[in-house]
Structure 1
Amino acid sequence: MQRRLPPLNALKAFEAAARHLSFTRAADELFVTQAAVSHQIKALEDFLSLKLFIRRNRTLLLTEEGQAYFLELKDIFKNLQDATERLLARGSKGAITVATPPSFASQWLVPRISQFSQLFPDIDVRLKAIDFDEGFLTDDIDVAIYYGRGRWNGIQADKLHTEFLTPLCSPSLFQGTKPLKTLSDLKHHVLLHDSSRAMWKMWLQHFGVHGVNVNQGPVFSHSMMVMQAAALGQGIALGNSVLAKPELDAGRLIMPFEEKLESRDAYYLVYHEGHGDMGKIAAFREWVMKLVKEEQAFV
C-alpha cells in the first residue's frame, strides 16, 4: 500500500514557522509571502486533521501536537541537509573555495598551490582574500585560514605551523653605521609594527630588553607590508617565521639575533564541523597538513 506523505513545501513552511514562531520570519527565510506560508500551514493542518499553531495575544504558539511534530521534523530536515552536503562533497571533482589572509596567501599558499592542482587536477581552487577573521564560515567558503588561538565556535580548526617571532632586517641595515650586535642596540633603529605595537612590547619584555621605545615606527595592516618595508631597509620587523621564510631564503631578510619567541597565535585551517572528511575538503586538508608536517620537520 502506497504511503501518503504531506507536501514538502508545506513541511518546509511549518518547520521554519515553528522554529521562528513567526509566519513573517519564516516567509523571509523561504523568500515567499506571509500569506503563502499561512496557506501552506493551513494545507498541512487539513492534511493531518490537526491544529498545529494557536495565536494568543499576537503571539504564535505551537500546540502540543505541533511541538511534537516539529521536534521530529527538525531532525529530519537536519539529516536531509547533511546527507545532501555529503553527497555534493563526496567526489573529488568540482571547485573548492579557500579564504585566507592576503599575507598568508602571498607568502605561503600561492607559491605551493600548484602542487595541489597537480595532485588533484579535477578540483578547481578558488582563493578568496579576507582581511580579518570573523570566527565563522559562510556557506560559500569550503575551508579558510584563520590566525588566532584556535578557538572558534561551530567550526573545526587544525593548527598549522608552530611559529616563532624574531627580529628581521635587511642585510644592508645590519651592515650599516648604526650598531646591531646586541638586543639593546634595537633602540638605535626604527621598529616596524604588524597591526599594533603590542607584539614588539611583549617580545622585548620577554627577553628583558629595556630602553627601546616601542611607540615609534610605522604600523602596517598586513604582514607582507611589514616584511617589504624591512627588506627595503626601512627598519626592523618582528617577523613571523613562517611568512618570512621566502624572504629569508632569498637573502632579502636576515635574522640579526638568535632569540626567538614561540607565538601564542598561529595559523589554523578551519572548516565546517563534520566536513573534514568530505571529498574535496578532505583532499585539501590532507595535502596542507602533510606539507606543513614536512616543512616543520626542518625548522
Structure 2
Amino acid sequence: MVDYKLPPLNALRAFEAAARHLSIKNAADELCVTPSAVSQLLKTLELHLGVALFRRVNRGVFLTEAGQNYLPAVRNAFRQIAEATRRVATAPDTGILTVSVTPFFASAWLVPRLNDFQNIHPEIDLQVLTGKGLVDFSRDGVDLAIRHGLGRYPGLVSERLFAVEMIPVAAPSLAARFSAPTCSQDLTAWPHVHDVDRKDWYLWFQAQGIEDIGPPRGPAFDDSGLLLKAVLAGQGAGLVPAAMAILDLAEGRLVKLADVAWPEAYAYYLVRPETSCDRPKVTAFRAWILGCCASA
C-alpha cells in the first residue's frame, strides 16, 4: 500500500476555516471547538508539513507564502469530497432536500407553509438549516438557499421571490389602547419596537415627509424574528415585511396601522448552483415556492 502521509483531516479543516476567516476564534466557532483546539490542530499540521502556514500578529493571523500556496489545493479537495458525497449519498429525485434560510424567513414564512409542500411532495424530506451567512454549496451540503439581499451571487442562479415592503403593525391589545390612526403622523405618539440600528421608524416616517418624531425609544432587536415576537406581545408598534405578516394579519394576531409601505432595496431570493437546476428535488421545491410567492 502506498503511504501518502496525509495530514489529519481535522487539522486540514481547521486550516481551511482559519485561512478563510483569518481568525482563530471565528474558525473555532464554525467548527464548534475551542480556539486553543484550533491552535493545536494548526500546530500539528505545521509540524507535519515542516513549514509555517500562518503568521500570528497580535490577535489576528495571516497566511504565509506557504499557506497561500497550500490553501487552494485544500479548499478544492474539500469541495470535491463534498460534491462526490452529495452525488453518492441520496438519489436525485427522492430523500432529503436541504434548504438554508435566514431564521426570520424560516419562522415567519416557510414553516407555516411546509404542510402544503409535504402534501404535494411526500417523497421529499425537507431539511431546513438556518443562518445569515453565505452558503458554500459544495462544502455545506446545501441544495438551495433563500437569502435577503440584492440578488448578486456570482456563479449562482438567483431568482427573486418577493420584494421587501415594510408595513406598520401592532398587536390588537396595543391597538385597543390608542385611537385608530387616521394618518402616518398619528403613529409618532405610539410606542415603537425597533431594529438594532433604531433607524427603521425614522426612515419610514421620513418617507412620509414627517421629520419631527423625537428620539427613538423602546426596545430594539438585532433579530427580525425577535422583533416580531415583541410586536405580537404588545410591546410596541413595529415595521415588518408585508409578506412575513400575511398569516398573522389574516388570523388576527396583528393589525395593520397604515396602508403605506416603505420599500427596501433588498429582496428575498432563491439561490442555487447552476449544476442543481435539473435535479427533480430542486425543481419541485423551486416550482412550489415560486408559486406560493406569486399567489401571495
TM over 0.5: yes
> Equivalent residue for 2:194?
193
Which runs of 5 or more residues in structure 1 are unaligned?
Answer: 1-8, 11-27, 36-57, 62-77
8 Å CA contact 1:179, 1:188 repeated in 2: no
8 Å CA contact 1:167, 1:257 repeated in 2: yes
Partners of 2:260 and 2:230 in 1: how far apart?
21
Deviation at 1:248, TM superposition (A): 0.6
8 Å CA contact 2:86, 2:141 repeated in 1: no
8 Å CA contact 1:107, 1:224 repeated in 2: yes
Deviation at 1:146, TM superposition (A): 0.7
Matched, 1:125 2:110: no
> Equivalent residue for 1:158?
159
Percent identity between matched residues is: 30
Which runs of 5 or more residues in structure 2 are unaligned?
Answer: 5-41, 51-65, 70-78
Partners of 2:187 and 2:136 in 1: how far apart?
39
Deviation at 1:117, TM superposition (A): 2.0
Matched, 1:176 2:169: no
Q: Tell me the TM-score normalized by structure 1.
A: 0.65
Partners of 1:188 and 1:226 in 2: how far apart?
19
Partners of 1:143 and 1:231 in 2: how far apart?
30
| Cα RMSD after superposing both structures | 3.6
Deviation at 1:232, TM superposition (A): 2.3
> Equivalent residue for 1:96?
97
Instruction: Give the secondary-structure state (helix, strand or coil) at the position aligned to 2:142.
Output: coil
Deviation at 1:109, TM superposition (A): 1.0
Partners of 1:273 and 1:202 in 2: how far apart?
37
Matched AA of 1:217: G
8 Å CA contact 1:200, 1:214 repeated in 2: no
Q: Which deviates more, 142-151 or 81-90?
A: 81-90
Q: 1:88 to 1:232 in 2, by over 3 A?
A: closer
Q: 1:177 to 1:112 in 2, by over 3 A?
A: closer
Q: Tell me the TM-score normalized by structure 2.
A: 0.66
Deviation at 1:136, TM superposition (A): 4.5
8 Å CA contact 1:89, 1:278 repeated in 2: no
> Equivalent residue for 2:239?
238
Instruction: Give the secondary-structure state (helix, strand or coil) at the position aligned to 2:275.
Output: coil
Structure 1, residues 45-104: CA drift from partner, whole Å, max 9, x if none?
Answer: xxxxxxxxxxxxx9xx9xxxxxxxxxxxxxxxx99x989967877731121111112221
Deviation at 1:160, TM superposition (A): 0.6
8 Å CA contact 2:191, 2:218 repeated in 1: yes
8 Å CA contact 1:150, 1:159 repeated in 2: yes
> Equivalent residue for 1:285?
286
| Structural mapping, 1:17-96, within 5 Å | 91-96=92-97
Structure 1, residues 135-158: CA drift from partner, whole Å, max 9, x if none?
Answer: 654431111111111112332211
Matched AA of 2:99: V
Structure 1, residues 201-256: CA drift from partner, whole Å, max 9, x if none?
Answer: 22222111121135322211322322222222211101111111121111121112
Larger radius of gyration: 1
Partners of 2:125 and 2:178 in 1: how far apart?
51
Instruction: Give the secondary-structure state (helix, strand or coil) at the position aligned to 1:234.
Output: coil
Structure 1, residues 252-285: CA drift from partner, whole Å, max 9, x if none?
Answer: 2111211112222111111123322222112211
Q: 1:123 to 1:269 in 2, by over 3 A?
A: same
Instruction: Give the secondary-structure state (helix, strand or coil) at the position aligned to 2:193.
Output: strand
Matched AA of 2:207: H
4+ residue runs of structure 1 moved beyond 4 angstroms?
Answer: 81-90
Partners of 1:179 and 1:95 in 2: how far apart?
48
8 Å CA contact 1:180, 1:256 repeated in 2: yes
Matched AA of 1:234: Q
> Equivalent residue for 1:17?
none
